Every structure is written in structure tokens, then in C-alpha cells.
Chain A
Amino acid sequence: MNSVVCVKQVPDTESVIKIKPDGSGIITDDLKFVMNPYDEYGVEEALKLKEKFGGSATILCMGPSRVVETIRTGLAMGVDKAVQLDDPAFEGGDAFATAKALAEALKGLEYDVIFCGKQAVDDDLSQVGQILAELLGLPHVSLIQKLQVADDKKSAVVDRQVEGGIEVLKVLLPAVLTTQKGLNEPRYASLPGIMKAKKKPLDVKDLAALGLNADSVGCNGSKTMITKYTAPPERAAGKIIEGEGPQETAPKLVQLLREEAKVI
């Protein structure tokens, strides 16, 4: 059973995000980067499959040299090897351009399952997994919370979260599965794992190695363009309703909710 986990490095959710003065992006200098939390579920699931069926787990990650730390973290958790896509041409890509490059890299890898996080917590697009499946001509199931691979490894039964309940699906493998919280508890990288991670193979590929041209990936290959970032408006100060006890204040509140906020 071979799995590939597509992993994105994202700013730590605790970081304070600052927008560049010209609105063209965010300031990344002081940011702490981590593995996208939803991708951690994919890593964990790939490791579980490996433990159960044998085979290998591979990380596929696009990004500049700083992403190596995230890749190594996955290797330290127990993933066997990794492919990093690193080329200035990949930069600034939307979900389509990203999926395009990932799909190309996946053509050179062996897999029964491809995991993607259900979304990356930075741009929250929730698209890469689905586009990837389309480009590779594979079935996909999004938002999975449980995975049971058949003994013959030709199909799997997955639970996915839907409004108000659980949907159980059978899917033929290979497939793209996007992972949701609840699927598993990602393990910590163990210290021996951390020490071994450095010796595990990390294959760095650039545009030429994928055999793509610069127009099909990154900014140039994107179908959507980010024109501007703006910070959310500052929250207006709250209003304190003065008065003697609820008898006096409650009617005032109702009046304001009706007339000013227009919510009731």
C-alpha cells in the first residue's frame, strides 16, 4: 500500500498576519511556519496504512527552501521519503496551478491513495485535492473522517461528514482523499524519528525536472488572480446600555436590536 500525502507549509495559526503595505501579499519575514494541520491527518493516515499493509508513505510538498523543515517533520513522524517542488516559477500559483504541478509530480510516483488536507488554513481554498483528482482522472472523496481499505487494496470504504450526519461511500483505488478533523490523532515526531529524518531521501524537483513550461504553473498558469489583500475592518467599539437593572435596560436593548442593528 503506497500513499502520497500532499503537504503545504502554512503560517502557524497563532501568528499575527501583517499585510504588505501595497496589499500584494502578507509579510512572511517574522512568521513561524508549520505543516497545515489538515495535512497532518493525511500523514498520520498514511503511516497507519503503512503499518497495516506495508508499502511506503511519501510526502509531496511545493515550496521554497523553508518548507524543508515541514517536510522533515513529516519524515520524523515516520514518512519514508519526500519530493519537494522548488522553482521560482511555481510561486504565486492558485489552486489550479498548484494542482497542475502536483499532478505532474505524482505521475512519477507510485500510489494507491493520495491524501490532501481538506483545505489549507492560510488561503482556505479547499480546491487542490479535487482539481488534482480531475487532472489525474481519479475518483475523489472529500472531508473524510474514517478510512477502511479493503484487504485486496482495490477499494476503500470511507465516512465523510455531511450536514447533520455521516455519509458512507465505497471508492475504487487509487483515489484522492481529502482529510478532515476526526480522522485520527496525528502522532508526535519521536526523537529517534527526528534524528533519522535527515537521512531519508528528499528529492528536489524544479520546473525542468517536471517537464512543464513556466506558463502552465505558478502565477502564469493560474486561472484566478489575487488582486489585493486588505485587513478586516477594525471592530467598532461596543455599546453599553446604561440604566437601573434589567427592567430599564432590556427594553432599550430590544429597541436597539430592532431599530439600529435590525436583527429582530
Chain B
Amino acid sequence: MNFDLTEEQKIIRNTVRDFAEKEIRPIAADLDQKEEFSYEIVGKMADLGIMGMPVPEKYGGGGTDYLSYIIAVEELARVDASSAITMCAHISLGTMPIYYYGTEEQKRKWLPKLTSGQMLASFGLTEPDAGSDAGATKTKAILKNDMWVINGSKCFITNAGTKISGLITITAITGKRKDNRNEIGCILLPNETEGYNIGSSYNKMGWHWSDTRGLSFVDCCVPKENLLGEKGHGFRQMLEILDGGRLSVGAMGLGGAQGAYEMALKYAKERFQFGKPLISFQINAFKLSDMLTEIEMARLLLYKAAWLKDNNRPFIREAAMAKLVCSETMGRVVNQALQLHGGYGFMKEYPVERFYRDQKVLDIAEGTSEIQRIVISRTIGC
């Protein structure tokens, strides 16, 4: 067994950490307050070359393994969740479907723009009445004269409505299966498609500068070839995309927990009460020890899951476990981290307040914690 990261992975971690500290940390609180999408940060992440990390170089990507990408997300989330989700929704959800299932032509057409970060992509699965039950999608695509005509709506879609959002992959009903259930397809929809309406941004509890939209499709027409992969494979594709995406959301929990822990440790060393620093009270020292221990457990599980993926082993169960553990670890860690800050933690001057708000959605997006437990339980015959 070898726990050493490769030289590249180490340099990627240091570089992204350095970048996040210098370019993102100084403006993160301000962006959170303004709740406006940051083209500046996306532009800088694009310059760094990280917007297409796990995609091969021939499509303009970074050509890294998945673990390197996970480490980069972790380092961004250690400083700012909105930066991390913007990058990882773009890659895992927006870009990977085209890389995995697109034709060579589709890959050549879209991937260079996406991997360079000039254009953002998103993945539209969730609908007002189809959340955890993603297969219950009502959006319909009907084939007429070799064109898919799409009608329906989506909600809570990350990266869909920025000025540089260029396309979305949506799930839609494309017909009936033999067992009379709905057949689902993943269809590429360029932003300029007529009848594609992008709603205004939601007011969210966290992830303030990340772009999240409700969408509607009124007689949107796209060519037949925009159905990714083979007809009838959409549901399986969707599950596979989510498996990879879970690792990146896990990385957000891990990085966020690490960031919150570091803030708590620093604060607890500097803050004096009863004539002593907070860390000298054993209950606080033990809290910090527990945080670090839990973070280490979460990291081992997440890296193992990424390693399985990189080595083409089955990783569905471990991806669900890692997503579950990392998000919930951050929940516990950030709760105690804020507690250690006392009243100051409740104030926006201290970034732990932002981390606290940014955590909650990790228990929800890309499959709720309950859904992760369902995924895990299915692998043990429950």
C-alpha cells in the first residue's frame, strides 16, 4: 500500500492552495455578500488551466487523474465553496457527459471551449417534481423530422445562467421502454436554442456567488445526434455522471472541513478567556482533536474512492460513502468550529460564518445523505 501522493499531485495541491490563498481568500467574503457570479475568479481558474483537469490533453484538458482533480476541488473549498462548486459542477456535471458519451465530433466541437474555461456547462436533472427521484423527470423530448422537440422544466441548476454558460445536458423522457416505463435520454442543448428560458438566480442560504437557475423548455429543437450515446442509455449515464460528481462534492466537504478546522485552531489559540487560551480547556482541545481525526477519516475514504475510479474498479458504493462522510464531517466540524468562535463566529467578519452556511447544501445536492445511504444499502442487498 502506498499513501504517498505523486509529485504532480503534490505540486497541484500546493499550486491550487497558493492560488486560492492569494487570489480568492482576499475577496471571498465580499463576493459572498454581493452574491454576484465572479467572472474574475473563473477567468483566473481558467488561466491556471484547471477547468478541464481530468479531460485528456487532446481535447484541451489537463490530462490528470481523477484524484488530482479531487485534490484541486478540496483546496478551493478550503477557502471558498462557491469557487469550488463552480469548477466542479462545470467539470463533473457539465463537461464529463460529453467526454464520456459524446461522439468524436461533439467532443471536438465542445470540449476545447469547456476545458479552457471559456465556456461553462451544466447538467440539468432536477425538476420541481423530480429531485431524489430523478427518474421521475417530466421533461419530454419527441423526435420529429430528425429533431428532438423538448418541453419541460428544470430547477436548481448550477452554472446554467452565466454570460459564459454555453450548453447544458438535460435528462428527458425519450420514449417508452419494453416494460412500459419511461425511457430517459441525456440531450445536449446549446444555450442559444430557441425556447430555452433561463430564470433568475435563486436567493440561496450559501454558495452565494455560484450561479443556480430554474429553466424551462418550450418547443426547443435540437438535432437527433444531440442525444448522447445510444438511445435508452440515458438513465444509466445519469447515474454514472452522479457517481463521479459525488466524489467532487465529497471533496468540497473535505476541503470545507479542513478550512473550518484551521480557522478554529487558530482562533482557539489566540482567544483568551479566564486568562488562558481556549485550547487550554481540555474540552476544546478534544474538539479540535476530534475534528482532525474525522477529517483524516473522510480524506482516506474519499481518496480511496477516487483511486478506485482511477484504476477502473467499481466505485459506486465508495463514492456514495465518501460523499456522505465528507459532507456530514464538514457539518460536524463547522458546527464546532463556529462554536469555538463564540459570538464572533456568528458575525460575518469571521469566515467561519460563511463556511457554516455553505455546508448545508452538501447534505442535499448530488443526492441527499438519505439517498447516499440508499445507494450503499442496495449494495448489501437491502
- Chain A residues within 8 Å of B, Cβ to Cβ: 34, 68-69, 72-73, 76, 188-195, 197-198
Contact = CB atoms under 8 A, between A and B. Distances in A.
Given A72-B7, A195-B57, A195-B63, A34 B47 contact: no
Given A195-B57, A195-B62, A195-B63, A188 B11 contact: no
Contacts of B7: 68-69, 72, 198
B258 to A, nearest CB: 14
B14 interface: yes
A68 B10 CA distance: 11
A34 B62 CA distance: 23
Interface stretch (B48-56, B103-111, B123-131, B348-356): B48-56
A255 B50 CA distance: 61
The interface size bin for chain B is: 10 to 19
Contact of B18 (A188, A192, A195): A188
Nearest to A193: B49
A188 B8 contact: no
Nearest to A186: B18
Contacts of A194: 8, 11-12, 15
Given A68-B7, A198-B8, A191 B50 contact: yes
A188 B15 contact: yes
Contact of B62 (A72, A76, A191): A191
A192 B11 contact: no
A194 B5 CA distance: 14
B14 A191 contact: no
27 contacts: A68-B7, A69-B10, A72-B7, A73-B14, A73-B15, A76-B11, A76-B15, A188-B15, A188-B18, A189-B15, A190-B47, A190-B49, A191-B12, A191-B53, A191-B64, A192-B57, A192-B62, A194-B8, A194-B11, A194-B12, A194-B15, A195-B8, A195-B57, A195-B64, A197-B8, A197-B11, A198-B7
Nearest to B60: A192
Nearest to B8: A194
Contacts of B50: 191
A76 B18 CA distance: 14
A233 to B, nearest CB: 20
Contacts of A191: 12, 48-50, 53, 62, 64
Nearest to A71: B7
Contacts of A76: 11, 15
A192 B49 contact: yes
A72 B11 contact: yes
Give the residue among A34, A191, A192 with the most B Cβ atoms within 10 A: A191
B19 A188 contact: yes
Given A34-B14, A194-B12, A195-B8, 19 more contacts: A69-B10, A73-B15, A76-B15, A188-B18, A188-B19, A189-B15, A190-B49, A191-B48, A191-B50, A191-B53, A191-B64, A192-B57, A192-B62, A194-B15, A195-B57, A195-B62, A195-B63, A198-B7, A198-B8
A40 to B, nearest CB: 10
Contacts of A68: 7
B50 to A, nearest CB: 5
B12 to A, nearest CB: 6
A191 B57 CA distance: 11
A189 B48 CA distance: 7
Nearest to A35: B14
Interface string B305-325: 000000000000000000000
Sorted nearest first, the 6 A-B pairs with minimum C-beta distance are A191-B49, A191-B62, A190-B49, A189-B15, A194-B11, A192-B49
A69 B13 CA distance: 12
Contacts of A34: 14
A72 B12 CA distance: 11
Contacts of B48: 188, 190-191
B273 to A, nearest CB: 16
A76 B10 CA distance: 12
Interface in B10-37: 10-12, 14-15, 18-19
Contacts of B49: 190-193
Nearest to B63: A195
Contacts of A189: 11, 15
A192 B49 CA distance: 7
A36 B278 CA distance: 34
Give the residue among A192, A193, A194, A198 with the most B Cβ atoms within 10 A: A194
A73 B14 CA distance: 9
Nearest to A189: B15
Give the residue among B47, B49, B57 with the most A Cβ atoms within 10 A: B49
Give the residue among B10, B47, B48 with the most A Cβ atoms within 10 A: B48
Interface in B55-113: 57, 62-64
Contacts of A69: 7, 10-11
Interface string B231-253: 00000000000000000000000
A190 B8 CA distance: 12
A197 B14 CA distance: 15
Contacts of B47: 190
B362 to A, nearest CB: 25
Contacts of B53: 191
Contacts of A197: 8, 11
A221 to B, nearest CB: 31
A192 B64 CA distance: 9
Contacts of A198: 7-8
B57 A73 contact: no
Contacts of A190: 47-49
A242 to B, nearest CB: 15
Nearest to B9: A194
A191 B47 CA distance: 9
A72 B15 CA distance: 12
Nearest to B53: A191
Contacts of B57: 192, 195
A190 B53 CA distance: 11
B16 to A, nearest CB: 9
